[in-house]
């Protein structure tokens, strides 16, 4: 009987606990001025780690969400970092004079609005987000 109760509690925790978001739940978006429709995972990593500032010869500017499941999934899947690790990385860039922290937005809607109006901007949002006014990039 105790064994069944433990199993029920474990199942409830799994079902009701936080849902892990995967790369498939995240859309990578870009300003329409970005000419490419396809970006590699390596290029995304290089852009968001500020090692690369162009795609197909066009300048790009990364935009981050401040937090949330899409943010955590993007960092984990594409950058291989946690939020704490990414912030430490950016602080290192600032300290050495090699870069700065990209713009950070509070919500998916703010990311879409910023990317839509900013030439070369590239960001990410949850897959369910309305992305009117921006280009959705496929990630290979």
Please write the tens of the pLDDT for every residue from 64-119: 999 999 999 999 999 999 999 999 999 999 999 888 889 999 999 999 999 999 99
| pTM of the predicted model as reported, rounded to 2 decimal places | 0.82
Burial of 5 (0-12, 13-18, 19+ CB in 10 A): exposed
User: What number does CATH give the domain 21-139?
Assistant: 3.40.190.10
Six-digit token string for 132: 């009117």
User: pLDDT confidence of 3, banded at 50, 70, 90?
Assistant: low
User: pLDDT confidence of 1, banded at 50, 70, 90?
Assistant: low
Residue-level pLDDT at 45:
97
Contact 125, 131 (CB under 8 A): yes
**Predicted confidence (pLDDT) at residue 133 exceeds the cutoff of 90:** yes
């Amino acid at each position: 009987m105790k064994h069944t109760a433990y199993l029920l509690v474990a199942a409830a925790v799994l079902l009701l606990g936080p849902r892990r978001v995967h790369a498939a739940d995240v859309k990578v978006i870009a300003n329409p001025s970005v000419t490419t429709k396809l970006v590699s995972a390596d290029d995304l990593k290089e852009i968001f780690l500020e090692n690369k500032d162009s795609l197909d010869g066009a300048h790009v500017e990364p935009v981050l969400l401040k937090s949330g499941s899409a943010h955590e999934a993007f960092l984990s899947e594409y950058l291989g970092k946690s939020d704490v690790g990414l912030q430490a990385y950016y602080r290192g860039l600032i300290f050495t004079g090699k870069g700065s922290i990209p713009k950070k937005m509070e919500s998916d809607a703010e990311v879409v609005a910023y990317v839509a109006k900013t030439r070369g901007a590239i960001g990410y949002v949850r897959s369910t987000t309305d992305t009117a006014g921006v280009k959705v990039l496929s990630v290979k």
